[in-house]
Amino acid sequence: MEYQELIEKAVEVSKNSYSPYSKFAVGACLLTDNGHVYSGCNFENSSFGLTICAERNAVGSAIAAGDKKIKAIAIYSPNSEYCYPCGACRQVLNEFKSENGLDVITTGKSGLKVTTLDELLPEGFNL
């Protein structure tokens, strides 16, 4: 699957976001080593600490389906150009990144931007 397709799926799923408090919709779509694709959107809660980010929602879907190695994730928000994962999501992605690393794809006015998780989270925590 091409990165543009992942972004398109992230854009589509962002429309399902439940973000009545922040008004900050996010969609994420990831690609596993097995070639499977999983999507997720953020959903908020009036008890803000219970809010789930789109990236962690997509990771949870992959885990529930038995996929635990992620090679790429696309993230989109209509509220932000080049939307990147928060610190908590970076650490969760670090736990499940492919042996060959994990590409983080986002989009803005200048087109797709691809970086690696290792660039966004150098020296990520591992047990």
Q: Which long-range contacts (CB under 8 A, 24 or more apart) does 9-15 make?
A: 9/37, 9/39, 9/74, 10/39, 10/54, 10/74, 10/75, 10/76, 11/76, 12/39, 13/39, 13/40, 13/41, 13/54, 14/41, 14/54, 14/76, 14/77, 14/78, 15/41
Task: Kindly give, in sequence order, each residue whose CB lies less than 8 Å from that of residue 88, ignoring residues fewer than 6 positions away.
Answer: 53, 56
Known catalytic residues? 55
